[in-house]
Structure 1
Amino acid sequence: MVKVEVKYTKLFINNEWVDAVSKKTFPTINPHDETVIAEVAEGDKADVDIAVAAAKKAFHRYSPWRILDASGRGLLMLKLADLIESQAKYLAELETLDCGKPVKTAEEEFYYSATVLRYYAGKADKILGNTIPADGEVMSMTIKEPVGVCAQIIPWNYPIPMMSWKIAPALAAGCTIIVKPAEQTPLTALAVAALIKEAGFPPGVVNIIPGYGPTAGAALTHHPDVDKVAFTGSTEVGKIILGAASAVNLKRVTLELGGKSPLVVFNDADVEKAAQIAHGAAFANGGQCCCAGTRTYVQSGIYDQFVAKAAEIAAKRSVGNPFDDVEQGPQIDQDMYSKVLGYIEAGKAGGAKCVVGGDKLGDKGYYIKPTVFADVKDDMKIAKEEIFGPVQSILKFETFEEIVDRANDTNYGLGAGVITNDITLAMSFAKYVRAGSVWINIYDHVTSQTPFGGFKDSGIGRELGEDGINQYLETKTITLALPKVPQF
């Protein structure tokens, strides 16, 4: 195992490292071997109150942050992006230690996160209002203003990409922030906090409070001085946050939640290529992806051939120590490990055919064999519920009309994919499927420029792209009376 130095374990408030008021800590666990990496300061309501006060002070109209030119905000963000890239190797190793992500993948994610910061840095001085030809002897215009103090609750599956999705548009807009990283993966958020300070952001602009959802998270979502909450995670927790956000004041809310995304493969597809795309859609990040294409629908003409190829690819997928050259590391923790194994048993018991995998891997660490089920029916548990692990369900279909209805027969609507050489067929599917992102002959291609979010129970609002920064802006209409037009 690579030796990685853990430099930061305290709370980051007002550009200072501090213990929790309670002095409590919690362990963060290495999912590779189940050992304790470090003890991290455990924030709760008392710490949230201090962090929110710091963010509120930093948002005051005469603060260094608020009087900074918009282009100045962009320059600070560009410096942060450069610092993240300069530390990408160390940050990736820290991420791998904390969440089990293959180290090469983790390093790519830090470079990607820097691109998100640069994209929004370029938008900081391009936030524009409008002039409006309003009725009457008036001049009307709109201006855009930052929404205020923002609570941002980050998931454990993509800790720094999801942090960048949230802090980048908020900083570009001029907001101040309290980040609560997932309790499973707090270390890289704290390491990036040190870079935020080094980049020169004023005190209180970004604060990092590790802790648990029912304590630190709840304190943030209920706090009367928090103006907006952004959350990525499960639909169940998202519903709790939505309720909490309206309990004291009406906070603005962005929610990126769960999914059970369909990937549809038509008869004219190249089976080898389609199976590779579908494999990536289902197994990327160990299946720990909200928009994972885990419902693989294959048209009957190529179904058997596709199943054989999918099983062959999954059987060759390398799983092991994430510091080695592998495609898949361990699942995040004991709870998710047990949950995924439970779904695998439910698939077997429900009558699906397990064609590869179907069990844990080894006796130490949270490793699961890549698993492919064939002959899956729509009413099976593994076809209806989000598994969040390395499990692919392959279902058969006959007609276009049938598959659109089946793809939409879910409470989720985060992503969808289609593989076909018929562009009319592909665009028709894209038109009728109810999902926030639709990928054609590719899957899960998400860039800084492309809005991302879900329909139905998959969320509210969008992140990335132009939509992403609009989530952190209020529109103010200003109307000025003009002198009455003289009569000639």
Structure 2
Amino acid sequence: MTELQHFPLIINGERCEPASGEYADVINPADGNVIARAAMGDKADVDKAVAAARAAFDDRAWREMSPADRSKVLYSCAHVVMQNAQELIELEIACSGATLNRASNLDIPAVADLWMNLAEAVKTYPFVSNQSPRPLPEQWHSQIFKEPVGVCGLITAWNFPLLLFSWKVGPALAAGNTMVLKPSELTPTSSIRLAELLQQVLPPGVLNVVNGDGARVGDAMTLHRGIDKISFTGSTRVGRIVQTNCASTMKRCTLELGGKGPGIVLPDADLDMVAQGSLWAVYMNAGQACESGTRLLVHEDVYDELLQKLAERSDQVIVGNPADPATGVGPMSTEAHFHKVMGYIESGVAEGARVVCGGEPATVAGCEGGFYVQPTVLADVTNDMKVAREEIFGPVLSVIKYSDVDEAVRIANDTDYGLSAGIWTGDLVRAQQLARELRAGSVWVNDWHMMRTDAPFGGYKQSGYGRELGAQSIDAYVETKAVQMSFERVPERKGMQRIVHTTLGQ
């Protein structure tokens, strides 16, 4: 029997055993088997990691590194990812159920691309800017500095471990911060390993990793007085807790939370393109993506025809072992989440939805212990049903009929979320107009998941606030300081001071 690999904490540049000595099993969702054991940290470990991060931040060599040198560090991080791509892909598949196709062709290239984009962005980012002198009431010189926040607590979700790692670590590094990262305890192995690999290009203490559950590690980080900023990706329910905890110490906080993405299908849309694209919108990563297109709003004139095409296309999607390159849809992340998704499908049927295809557990040969759900299309959904209101986070598409575009926009915006939205049409001018009416941080036309690493991503309403990706992501990791300098050296000429010193100039 092969000995399980152990993944410790990473603190101050070194592998570190947890204070409690506790390790937890990491389960492969493809077959239900234990594949590794990961350290489970607690408050003592968070304290140790924060101390290391603070010491690294207090080192002016890191904090005040020139943009040119910081660019080189970010390029080096990207090179580390590409040099170790095979190992990272294998870990990502085994711990999270990511398909080989996705991890190889999307995740790893996107991680490297983001950090290389940030490496270029820091060269021109306005860390220091000068305002023009103003002669009245006297000659003042003004500079605006954007400085690193300090020690950042980064909390990632279980669905895209490596991508979310890069989305937070990249801009935090670009701004000159130090950090403590908490990956999801369900899928920690690829994140811990990447953090370990990055120690070869980062000073000790700049990037620390404390794995563990939210009750012990997450709460300790969000309440910690030594952490200056929290960036969290996860559910809206937990996001509220994070926000409340951060308020106790007035921490800076950015949140990337849930979504219930609506896609509006106009009557002139290419239905073959819609059928393929809207399933890509909801089946990618087996639907376990916050920006998924989970509600498809279809005009009554093309409703029945599109349902038939959706069923035909969905039946061709291969559910299988994520390590198989032929697999298009892999497993749910955990057994508990599998039952949650199945419960949503059952609730949809109970409320009057019709199963067009799927709707049952899926069996994969050789992976009988895995947590698979058949790709599912539900028709005759109304926007008040549970499947239309709540985030299912599985391969389940809810199809809603509408009569006119104004109605479709109302339905699309009738949600607590505002992360993503889409429009399917042949009229691109009209699409641009409709995009302005949709209350979402990303609006995609005739496709989905179009997330460029040089464009901002984030949500409206209860999908959170703040933006990740692009040069704008650096904004969330800096403080802004104004430094004003007076050129007037003669006290009697200090015009504004005469408000108090009324005898000046007499």
TM-score (ref. length: structure 1)? 0.96
Match of 2:504 in 1: none
Q: Alpha-carbon deviation of 1:299? A: 0.7
Match of 1:30 in 2: 28
Among candidates 158, 165, 170, match of residue 168 of structure 1? 170
Match of 2:362 in 1: 361
Matched residue count: 482
Asked if 1:196 corresponds to 2:190, the answer is: no
Counterparts of 1:425 and 1:124, CA distance in 2: 37
Among candidates 87, 96, 103, match of residue 84 of structure 2? 87
Counterparts of 1:349 and 1:175, CA distance in 2: 50
1:8/1:191 contact within 8 Å kept: no
Q: Alpha-carbon deviation of 1:349? A: 0.9
**Gapped runs of 5+ residues in structure 1?**
none
Amino acid at match of 2:69: G
Match of 1:467 in 2: 472
Give the 3-state SS of the residue equivalent to 1:317 in structure 2. Answer: coil
Counterparts of 2:148 and 2:261, CA distance in 1: 34
Give the 3-state SS of the residue equivalent to 1:301 in structure 2. Answer: coil
Amino acid at match of 1:281: A
Amino acid at match of 2:45: D
1:150/1:228 contact within 8 Å kept: yes
2:294/2:398 contact within 8 Å kept: yes
2:402/2:408 contact within 8 Å kept: yes
1:4/1:93 contact within 8 Å kept: no
Counterparts of 2:4 and 2:445, CA distance in 1: 42
Q: Alpha-carbon deviation of 1:29? A: 0.6
Counterparts of 1:4 and 1:463, CA distance in 2: 40
Among candidates 404, 413, 417, match of residue 412 of structure 1? 417
Match of 2:144 in 1: 142
Asked if 1:379 corresponds to 2:380, the answer is: no
Among candidates 147, 169, 184, match of residue 182 of structure 1? 184
User: 1:6–1:206: structure 2 CA closer, same or farther, 3 Å change rule?
Assistant: farther
Counterparts of 1:163 and 1:80, CA distance in 2: 12
Counterparts of 2:73 and 2:471, CA distance in 1: 20
Counterparts of 1:169 and 1:141, CA distance in 2: 23
User: 1:104–1:355: structure 2 CA closer, same or farther, 3 Å change rule?
Assistant: same
Match of 1:234 in 2: 235
- What's the CA shift string for 1:230-282, capped at 9, x where partnerless? 011100000000000011x2111110000001001101011101111111111
Counterparts of 1:266 and 1:443, CA distance in 2: 16
Match of 1:151 in 2: 153
Give the 3-state SS of the residue equivalent to 2:289 in structure 1. Answer: coil
Match of 2:427 in 1: 422
Counterparts of 2:118 and 2:223, CA distance in 1: 28
Counterparts of 1:73 and 1:209, CA distance in 2: 25
Q: Alpha-carbon deviation of 1:69? A: 2.6
Match of 1:111 in 2: 109
Counterparts of 2:117 and 2:93, CA distance in 1: 26
2:5/2:36 contact within 8 Å kept: no
Q: Alpha-carbon deviation of 1:8? A: 5.5
Counterparts of 1:78 and 1:110, CA distance in 2: 14
Mean CA deviation greater in 129-138 or 100-109? 129-138
Counterparts of 1:77 and 1:132, CA distance in 2: 29
Counterparts of 1:436 and 1:192, CA distance in 2: 29
Mean CA deviation greater in 133-142 or 184-193? 133-142
Match of 1:267 in 2: 267
Match of 1:305 in 2: 305
- What's the CA shift string for 1:84-133, capped at 9, x where partnerless? 11211221111111111111211221121011111111222323133234
Task: Give 1:216-231 correspondences, 5 Å limit.
Answer: 216-231=217-232
Asked if 1:99 corresponds to 2:100, the answer is: no
1:96/1:102 contact within 8 Å kept: yes
Q: Alpha-carbon deviation of 1:5? A: 9.6
**Gapped runs of 5+ residues in structure 2?**
494-506
Counterparts of 2:118 and 2:381, CA distance in 1: 43
Asked if 1:212 corresponds to 2:209, the answer is: no
Counterparts of 2:283 and 2:137, CA distance in 1: 60
Amino acid at match of 1:28: V
Among candidates 454, 472, 479, match of residue 459 of structure 2? 454
Q: Which of these two proteins has the greater Rg computed from alpha carbons?
A: 2
Q: Alpha-carbon deviation of 1:197? A: 1.2
1:28/1:185 contact within 8 Å kept: yes
Asked if 1:338 corresponds to 2:339, the answer is: yes
Among candidates 54, 73, 85, match of residue 76 of structure 1? 73
Mean CA deviation greater in 347-356 or 136-145? 136-145
2:158/2:186 contact within 8 Å kept: yes
- What's the CA shift string for 1:362-401, capped at 9, x where partnerless? 2521011001011111111111111000100111111111
2:7/2:189 contact within 8 Å kept: yes
Amino acid at match of 2:288: Q
- What's the CA shift string for 1:196-237, capped at 9, x where partnerless? 112x21000000111001111110000001010001110000
2:27/2:186 contact within 8 Å kept: yes
Counterparts of 1:34 and 1:314, CA distance in 2: 25
Counterparts of 1:6 and 1:38, CA distance in 2: 5
- What's the CA shift string for 1:18-73, capped at 9, x where partnerless? 100111111111111111112211111000000000000000053x4224332222
Amino acid at match of 2:226: D
Percent of pairs identical after alignment? 42
Q: Alpha-carbon deviation of 1:476? A: 0.4
TM-score (ref. length: structure 2)? 0.93
Match of 1:397 in 2: 402
User: 1:102–1:53: structure 2 CA closer, same or farther, 3 Å change rule?
Assistant: same
Counterparts of 1:452 and 1:463, CA distance in 2: 5
Q: Alpha-carbon deviation of 1:193? A: 1.3
Q: Alpha-carbon deviation of 1:143? A: 0.9
